[in-house]
Amino acid sequence: MTQQKRIVVTGGAGFIGSALIWKLNQQGISNILVVDAFDKSEKWKNLAPLHFNDYQEKDSFIKDITAGKYNNTIDAVFHLGACSSTTETDARYLALNNFEYTKQLAIFCSTNNIRFIYASSAATYGDGSNGYTDEESQMHTLCPLNMYALSKKMFDIWAFDNGLLSTIVGLKYFNVFGPNEYHKADMRSMICKGYQQIIETGKIKLFKSYHTEYADGEQVRDFIYVKDAVAMTLHFYAHRSLSGIYNIGSAATTSWNTLAAALFAALNKKTNIRYIDMPEILRKKYQYHTQANIQKLRAAGYHNEITPIADAIRDYVQNYLIPGNVLNAEKQKPSK
């Protein structure tokens, strides 16, 4: 991988963004421009142990792009920055931040022959009634359940209709979890939130089911460890002939009950689950089943083994949550 030109990571102080920088550092790459929007959260801590040579706020970055400052200086843009809150109700903000901003970046990269890899979302699949295939021809049939998901679908469709998906890559991340998500408040994974609940109360709270086909805690999701998600993402940097939409998931389903049991096991504690009412605002927007179809990813040459859920949770809990660690550029943590 070349370091002659700079790699840009938007959302670089965030969860997946900082994990991506960590992995680039492991590969000896530090010629990185981090683009983000610092706020009152503590996501800045994710960057503290990492190696990069510049930082810029997202608004000034897009202005500089428009002004031509970065022409012929960038090798690739990993566009991972977005408002990722599935409960955000400001539709205008989501349209501007997630859709319009991504359009500007995509046009800039396409015009300047820069590798562009962006984060779409598995939330675009809605309730899953139309399946979880990442074939571009099926995108128009998807019906998102919230405005965040719609903002992601809007760009996927725009990129497809304008022919950009023949050169750029969109990644539909499923339920990613792992170190460096501590700043995300309510949007943290259940592993992160559940760990805190167990430490404080000795039990974990899961939503009751409001679907007759699923018992309480038996709703299932496709959980993917952030280390695996990053490895999949970087596959598309290493193989520049690849383009289009790809699912980033484990291709397996795990129930909330199974996930909770694995979390208790990682802490060497007896499973203790309490089922609670789901907030009214979520009941009509809740996904009871997600499962990534990753045949297209495998056909694109990604053959790495995906970390089993119990092993991933154990690594996360014992090497990061218990000691309070973030991903550190100086050393590779064991995966099992």
Residue 81 forms part of a structural domain? yes
Mean pLDDT computed over 62-66? 93
Catalytic residue among 101, 118, 148, 320: 148
The pLDDT value recorded for residue 330 is 75
For residue 246, what is the domain's CATH number? 3.40.50.720
To the query of whether residue 148 is one of the catalytic residues in this protein, the response is: yes
- Contacts with 198 (C-beta within 8 Å, 6 or more apart), sequence order: 204, 263, 264, 267, 269, 272
Report the C-alpha gap between 73 and 182 in whole angstroms.
33
Per residue in 142-188, pLDDT (tens digit) is 999 888 999 999 999 999 999 999 999 999 999 999 999 998 888 89
Closest CA to 173 of 102, 117, 113, 242: 117
Per residue in 295-328, pLDDT (tens digit) is 999 999 999 999 999 999 999 999 999 999 999 9
Q: Quick one: 49 exposed, middle or buried, by C-beta within 10 A (0-12, 13-18, 19+)?
A: middle
Residue 118 forms part of a structural domain? yes
Report the C-alpha gap between 211 and 142 in whole angstroms.
21
Residue 271 forms part of a structural domain? no
Q: What is the DSSP string of 243-286?
A: -EEEEES-S--EEHHHHHHHHHHHTT----EEEEPPPHHHHTT-
Residue 264: pLDDT over 50:
yes
The pLDDT value recorded for residue 90 is 82
Per residue in 192-249, pLDDT (tens digit) is 999 999 999 999 999 999 999 999 999 999 999 999 999 999 999 999 999 999 999 9
Residue 215 forms part of a structural domain? no
Mean pLDDT computed over 127-154? 92
Catalytic residue among 5, 184, 193, 285: 184
Residue 334 forms part of a structural domain? no
Report the C-alpha gap between 152 and 218 in whole angstroms.
28
Residue 80 host element (H or E): none
CA distances 103 to 160, 226, 233, 320, Å, are: 12, 26, 20, 36
The pLDDT value recorded for residue 331 is 60
Residue 61: pLDDT over 70:
yes
Amino acid code (one letter) for 336: K
The pLDDT value recorded for residue 333 is 43
To the query of whether residue 103 is one of the catalytic residues in this protein, the response is: no
For 96, the domain range is 6-177+222-251
Cβ atoms of 332 and 27 within 8 Å: the answer is no
How many domains, the chain?
Answer: 1
The pLDDT value recorded for residue 289 is 92
